[in-house]
């Protein structure tokens, strides 16, 4: 039941986010966010959201679940209806994409 509720909420959020403007990773907005040292949780969340908005949604969602929701790969896999191996692969693939853009990660 929990996975069903999560997926319903996830799809509602994805639908709402489709109208949000996507910002390229090399834009001045993201560069400013990357250079500034965040002082509050809200600033850090805005910075991470801007960075994750450039990743493919399936990769960004695994990062969000792992970092923000502190879910295990098995929990992520059941929520997204994929195997645990696929969840891990997506997580490390997303991290690699971020590392290639931001050498300091």
Contact 49, 57 (CB under 8 A): no
The DSSP annotation for 21-75 comes to: PP--TTSHHHHHHHHS---SHHHHHHHHHHHHTTS-HHHHHHHHHHHTS---HHH
Structure tokens at 91: 């997580």
Domains and CATH numbers, the chain: 22-54 (no CATH), 56-105 (1.10.10)
pTM: 0.58
Per-residue pLDDT 10s for the chain (105 aa) are 667 777 777 777 666 665 555 656 666 666 665 555 556 767 777 877 888 888 888 999 998 888 888 889 999 999 899 999 999 999 999 988 888 877 654
């Amino acid at each position: 039941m929990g996975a069903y509720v999560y997926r319903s909420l996830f799809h509602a959020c994805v639908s709402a986010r489709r109208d949000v403007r996507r910002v390229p990773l090399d834009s001045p907005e993201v560069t400013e966010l990357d250079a500034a040292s965040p002082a509050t949780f809200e600033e850090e969340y805005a910075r991470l959201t801007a960075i994750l908005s450039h990743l493919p949604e399936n990769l960004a969602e695994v990062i969000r679940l792992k970092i923000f929701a502190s879910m295990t790969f098995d929990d992520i896999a059941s929520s997204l209806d994929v195997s645990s191996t696929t969840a891990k692969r997506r997580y490390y693939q997303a991290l690699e994409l971020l590392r290639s853009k931001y050498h300091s990660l």
